[in-house]
Each structure stands twice: as C-alpha cells, then as structure tokens.
Amino acid sequence: MQLRLFPLLACALLSTALSAQDEGIDWLSNYEEARTLAKKTGKPIFLEFRCEA
Amino acid sequence: MFDAQVVLSPKDSPRGKLMQQYVCVRVPRMDNVDIGLFEYDRYNTLYFFILNADEQIYLRYGGRDANSQDTFLSLPAIELALSKGLELHKLYQDGKLARKPRPKPVFPKEFPHLVKRTFAAGACVECHLIGDFVNVHREEDGTLNKPQHLYQSPDFRIIGLHFDIPKGLIVKDTQGAVKTAGLQPGDQITAINGETVYTFADLQFAYDKLPRTTENMKLTVERAGKSLDIDVRLPHLWWKTDIRFRQASIDPRTYFDSLPLSAERKQQLGLKPNSFASEVSHVDAFAQMMKSHELKTGDIIVAVDGADTDPLADTAEFYIKLRKKAGDSVTLEVLRGDQRIKMPLQTYRMSFRK
C-alpha cells in the first residue's frame, strides 16, 4: 500500500511545487492545447509522458 | 528525481532557457493519447518527445534498464536533446527537413481488455498497462512474438556497447561484438542501418525494431570529423535482456530464476552440450503461496515436458517463458543431490494486473 501511495504523494507534491513556483517553466497538461499553442507561436513542443511503472 | 529536476527547471538556468523556446506539456495519463503516434516502450516511467505542431517527431528522450528508471537519463544529455530539437525545428521551418508520414492513430480505447481493466473500472490508463494489454491481445490473435514483444529495448551492453550517458551518443567503452567490429571509445553514433539518430532513445527505439533473427547491423559513427560505417555482427541472443522489472508483462509466471550450467558441469552430469539445463538461483515466495512448484535453490532442471534443448532458450525458465502460455502445467525433470525427480509446475498469469 505504501509503495502504491508514494508515487501519488510525489505527484501531489510536484503539482503543488509547480503551482507555487513563479520562476519555473510553464507546463501545460493537455497535448491538444500544447499543439494549438505551438501552431500559434511557431514553437516546437517538448512533451513528457510521466507514468508510474 | 529526474522528473522533478526537469519540470522544475529554473527559467534562468541553461536548461530553462532552452525549454522556454518550447511549448512544454506534461501528460500523466494515457487515456486519450494517440499511442500509434507516440510509440515507445511503455515500461519507461518517463519518456520525452520533441516534435512540432504538425506532429512531426524530431527526436525522443528516455530509456531505462532493470536497475533503475533513471539509468540512461541525464540533465546534460537532455539539454543536448533540447538544443538539437531547436536546430531541427529551424530546418523544418526553412523547408530543409523532409516530412515523414504520420503513423496511423491508435487509441487505448481500441483494446477491449484494457478498457475493461481501466476505463470501465474508473482506473487510470497507466503506460505499462497499455504495453501489457496490447500483448494480451497479441497473444489472443496469435501475433505475439515473445522475443520481440516481451524482450523489449535490448540492452546495448550485451553487445559490449557502453555510452557516456551525459554526452548523448558518445561511446564510452567497447567490448565484445562492437569492439570486434571496430567501434572505438569517443565515436559518436549518428545512424543505425541508415536511420539517423540523435539520442540514446532514438537509437534504442530503432534497435528494438530489429527482428530478433537479425544477425548484422550497420552503425554510422563520427570519428575525428569523418563519417564511418561499422558493420556489427550481432551475437546469439543479442536481444535477451533483463526484463524482471517488467513484472506484469512476463507471462507465464514461474516464480523462480535459473542460471545456465557451464559446459564443464553439463559434461560432468552427462547432459547434452546444447542442453538448456539450468540451476535454480532463486525461488520466489509466491511459488509456495500459489502452489506453483516445489523447486529449491540449487536444484538443476534438466528437462521440461521431455524437452532439453531449444534454439533460443539457454535455461529452463527461459524455455517455459518462450514456449508456454500462462496457465499451462508442465513436468520438470530435476536433479536434486543424487536424485532425479519429476516435478509438476503450474504457471500463472498476473491476474490482478490483467
């Protein structure tokens, strides 16, 4: 059970850290939104898949 | 934790400055992901793609082994990948990069067993579940090729190829097959069988696509400013990598590990030189719990259902994994001390995951 909860806790902490950090990179969580923004800005996309394996 | 180090990169750091030239997106659920476009070894905890809005993938970043999810990950190397991605994007925008055909879209909802286990149960579509259930469907429709589909992402160290991980595809050390072929420390690999690669993940993805019957491959390297092709003769079982971390993928489950016997030992015991006779090195506690078998460490398995050789298997455990299905019962012939005994073994599927 602890092993299953650890990644969830880590994700929760990371999410909190992401929202609390003003100086960090802006990350989207929706691929289609990222694609739309990439079209609009001409930027490439840096896509991360994060999974519990 | 590599994930946090990348995601929380400060804007004013060299990595952050590179990342600000991208639209960054982090996807923790695979529910609606086009797994046809974003094809990769689903047992990677982290995997990155650099692509453009037209869904042209420039390069990949990722890779792991049985020891750790981070073995092949490095912050300097991901910075190299980010820099290369920007170069390739500029070429694409200038019309100097050929457009590749887009792979056919495939979505997790197209796999009924996966749907039952995840969507229908309100559970997350985790990456490794996709890998597992795609193989369940392959097994059902008769297309499962175990050497190809279970023994994924072969370890380059089997052919003697060691990388300087922070430096991307710079070779650090060579042994065995690649040393014999002429690869040298300091070489930078740029292509495999003519396919350009920019990262370890690119190379591993292309290498994994090789049919397991492949006997030769061509690596293109840069050495002292010159491009050089090196033909590598692949050794027997070049693809047999340590897959114990893919615990849910490896069916049938046998709950023991075994090691091949040496030629001398086989001779002492009067066994064939090409026998897959092997010594039990570990018995999982589940063996007793599941009433799978009564093997003990040190037992020597000399045959399975009467078979003692196989063109691929070098251990009895490997033979069962390759040739039997989850749920099959087999009879082992075992040497224990001075006794030769017959022992039943019941295999299982990891049912709580599938």
> What is the ipTM, given to two decimal places?
0.91
Q: What residue spans of chain B are helical by DSSP H?
A: 2-7, 14-19, 75-93, 112-117, 127-141, 146-149, 176-181, 200-208, 263-268, 286-289, 316-323
* Interchain proximity A24–B7, CB inside 8 Å: yes
Bridge partners, residue B348, by sequence: B253
pLDDT score at B237:
94
Q: Which of residues 22-41 of A touch B (CB under 8 A)?
A: 23-31, 33-39, 41
- For residue B123, which residues of chain A lie inside 8 Å, CB to CB? none
| Per-residue model confidence as pLDDT tens digits over B272-326 | 999 999 999 999 999 999 899 999 999 999 999 999 999 999 999 999 999 998 8
What value does the CA radius of gyration of chain B take, rounded to a whole number of Å? 23
End-to-end CA distance of chain A: 15
pLDDT score at B249:
66
* pLDDT, averaged across chain B: 94
Q: CA-CA distance, B118 to B81, in Å (whole number)? A: 34
- For residue A41, which residues of chain B lie inside 8 Å, CB to CB? 23
Residue of B223 and B244 predicted with greater confidence: B223
Question: Would you place residue B66 in the very low, low, confident or very high pLDDT band (cuts 50, 70, 90)?
Answer: confident
pLDDT at A2 over 90: no
Question: Would you place residue B338 in the very low, low, confident or very high pLDDT band (cuts 50, 70, 90)?
Answer: very high
pLDDT score at B352:
53
- For residue A17, which residues of chain B lie inside 8 Å, CB to CB? 4, 8
CB proximity list for B339: less than 8 A, separation 6 or greater: none
Question: Would you place residue A39 in the very low, low, confident or very high pLDDT band (cuts 50, 70, 90)?
Answer: very high
> Using CB atoms, which residue from A18, A35, A51 is nearest to B53?
A35
Residue of A nearest to B41 (CA): A53
> Using CB atoms, which residue from A14, A25, A29 is nearest to B19?
A25
* Interchain proximity B25–A52, CB inside 8 Å: no
**CB of B22 closer than 8 Å to CB of A48:** no
Phi, psi (rounded to 5 degrees) for B303: -160, 155
- Helix H or strand E segment including A18: helix A2-20
Chain B CB within 8 Å of residue A1 CB: no
pLDDT score at B344:
97
- Mind giving me the DSSP string for B281-298? EEE-THHHHTT-----TT
Pairing of strands B46-51, B216-223: unpaired
Lowest model confidence (mean pLDDT) among B165-169, B179-183, B191-195, B321-325: B321-325
Residue range B136-160: mean pLDDT, rounded: 94
pLDDT score at B266:
97
Provide the percentage of residues in chain B whose pLDDT is more than 70. 98
pLDDT at A5 over 70: no
| Per-residue model confidence as pLDDT tens digits over B77-97 | 999 999 999 999 999 999 999
pLDDT at B75 over 80: yes
pLDDT score at A52:
63
